[in-house]
Every structure is written in C-alpha cells, then in structure tokens.
Chain A
C-alpha cells in the first residue's frame, strides 16, 4: 500500500537551525558593536583628548589660587623679620643670616607642600575622568546585555566624585621668629604708649599743662 508517510519534522529542524544561525549572526553583530563602542570610548577619553593640557589647566589654576597667599605671607614675614632685625640692630649679623635661612626653609617646604597638593588633586581629577570612562564602558555592556543593566544602574549612583582642594585660607604658614628683646616686647610697649597718649588729658581740661616753650 502506498500513501503518505509519517509526519515530517524537517520543517521543525530547519526552523531550529535557522534560529541558531540567526542567533550566531546576532551575536556577531553584538560583538562588532561592542568593539566599535569600546574603541569610541577609548578614543573619547584617550590621551589625544584628555591629555596633559587638560589636567595642567586644573593644576595651574590651583597653584594660582594657593601660591599668591603663600607669597603674601612670605613677604609679610620677611618684612616683619627685616624690621625686627633692624630694630634689634642685628640686621647685619650672623643671627640675621640664621633667621633668614629659617624663613627661606619654611617658604620652600610650604611651597613644596602646596605644589604636592596640587599634583595630588590633579590625580583626583584624572581618576574622576577615568571613572567617567568606566561608566561609559558599563553602559556600553549594559546596552548590549540587558542582564547587566540593573547592576550598572545601581553602580552609577556611586559615581565619580572629585576631591576638591582646600579652597579656604591657608592659615599661618610661617612661624614668627622672635628677634631681640625689643621685638618681643614691642607690641606690649606700643600698646602701652598708645594708651598713654589716648588717656592723656586734653589742653582744654582743668589742670592741664600747656607747653609754652
């Protein structure tokens, strides 16, 4: 007896094979997009864009903010020291050389500290940009793989924070150098003299003395 054979599952097998082929093609496209996206991010955040010029601008501005304050304090301390030495009559002495060396040493250390801070802060800026790059990568992978999207979104809350430099006043950077007994008591003496002058009775009051000379 002829007639039809049993039900064919060729169509089902072909469908499964087609599905496998489509999945493979889709995966190839996905990998190509990942490669392309990563290359674009690498280029975007690469040295040709975010190079030393970008970061130097930040470092120089921080120094432009902090160093003038140091220089001003240095000038003030140097002037005060010069006047104190002159008042003590020791401007041309070994003690003057010692005091001057001490001041210069403090100045150098302070300037070094400020420059080191600016450099560290610039490194923080680099980290901040690197964090942006990392987030861009995460978003690329999340776009191409929905299962990581939720994790990426959760992580993006803990995103880049730039540690800002201390923008307040630097405080007293130079320790006062006591020069001579005169300089040590000068403020108190000056205050006493000023009070004596202000408290002196005026000429129009009774009992005042008039200079007739």
Chain B
C-alpha cells in the first residue's frame, strides 16, 4: 500500500519533530534559568544599592542635623555672649578697666603733671571725673564688643554660623557625590538584560521534519492516485 520512501519520510518527519520539541524544551529551561539568575542579580544589586545609599544619606543627615543643632537660639546666644566677653577684655585697655574700677594708681597715671600736689578735695574731684570717664569708656567698649560679637569678629555669630554650615555642607557634598556615583553604577547594573537563549539547529531540525513530511505526503499521494486509477 505505502511505498518505503513514504514510510521513511514519515519516520523522518516524526523523529525530527520530536528532536525539535526536545531542543525547544531545553532552550526554555535554559531561558528560565537565565531569567532566574537575572532576577537574583537585579535583586542583589538593588539591595546593595539601597543599603549603601541609605548609609550615605544617613551620613549627610547626621552632618545636617549636627549643624542645625548648633544654630539654636540658645547656642547662638551663648556663643554671642562668650564672644562679647572675650572682645570686652580684648578691646578695653587695661588702664581704662582699672581706672573704671577706681584703682588710684591707674587714675593717678592719667592725671596731668602737677595735679598730684593739689589739695585733696580738688584732687578727689578730678579722680572722680577720671573714674567716671573711664567707666563710660568701658561701657561704650562693652557695647562695641557686643555689636562686633554678632558679626565680623573672630568667633562672631555670623562667622561661627558660616563655619558650621560650611563644615556640614562639605560632608553633605561628599555623601551626595558618593551617592551620585552609586546611583550611576546601579543604573548600569539595571541596564543589564537577561541572557536570551537561542536554539541552535532548531531550524535545520524543523526543515528536516518538513522534508520528511513532504516525502511521506508525496508517496502517499502517488499511492492514492494509483489506487483510484
């Protein structure tokens, strides 16, 4: 009924189809494995990035909060008062400070020559005026120290605040720079695509199965034509 050629073609077709299916299944398994590896890799990269990014953010935040905690009104007032005290001492000449306290030697040093031998009551009046003038000068210098302590003096409020903010700014910048680098590296990792498995020889197997079916079909057709004739 069927010629051997058709039988061979049919067998070839079935065999090649089975081989092709097996190859595709193997490819699917390999692709699944590649996908799993990709997910695991991306998850690991993501977790590492998030962890490192959070560490760096915390560093920046610690620098920031440390700075703002130094800028409270209490600390700024305290710093201003300390600087005012320092400046008051630095700006007030020693003899003025002593004369303002009533130190007779300091006051005597400020009297004109010849005034030392005046009558005591006259000398006392001059003493009193010199002491008063020294006290007024001391008070004015204290006010000057207060004004300076807010700004341009060595440890004045503005300079102090700028120093604090600059220091924290540098720490934040460092953390920010490192975070930006981490992010760039992570973006590269994110761009990694899963491996795409290709079936080598699959087309050949398919072609052979097709050829076998063509031969089997051709033989079967011829046999049927003969039978009809």
Tell me the A residues contacting B by CB distance below 8 Å: 1, 3-9, 11-12, 15, 19, 22, 26, 33, 37, 40-41, 44-45, 49-50, 54, 57-58, 61-62, 64-65, 68-69, 125, 128, 132, 135-136, 139-140, 142-144, 146-150, 152-153, 156-157, 159-165, 167
Is A68 within 8 A of B169, CB to CB? Answer: no
Is B176 within 8 A of A146, CB to CB? Answer: yes
In the complex where A139-B67, A140-B64 touch, is A68 in contact with B140 (Cβ < 8 A)? Answer: yes
Is B73 within 8 A of A49, CB to CB? Answer: yes
- Please indicate the chain A residues that have their CB under 8 angstroms from the CB of B169 in the complex: 135, 139, 142, 152-153, 156
**Which residues of chain B (29-64) have a CB below 8 Å from chain A?**
29, 31-32, 35-36, 38-39, 42-43, 46, 50, 56-57, 60-61, 63-64
The docked-state distance in angstroms from the alpha carbon of A148 to that of B172 is 10
Is A64 within 8 A of B143, CB to CB? Answer: yes
Is A167 within 8 A of B147, CB to CB? Answer: yes
In the complex where A3-B25, A152-B173 touch, is A40 in contact with B68 (Cβ < 8 A)? Answer: yes
Determine which residue in A11, A12, A135 has the highest number of CB atoms from chain B within 10 A of its CB, and name it: A135
Is B148 within 8 A of A164, CB to CB? Answer: yes
In the complex where A68-B140, A136-B68 touch, is A152 in contact with B43 (Cβ < 8 A)? Answer: no
> Which of B39, B139, B157 is the one whose CB lies under 8 Å from A12?
B39
* Stretch from B100-108, B112-120, B158-166 that touches the partner: B158-166
* Stretch from B5-13, B177-185, B201-209, B211-219 that touches the partner: B177-185
Looking across the interface, which residue of chain B has its beta carbon closest to that of A19? B46
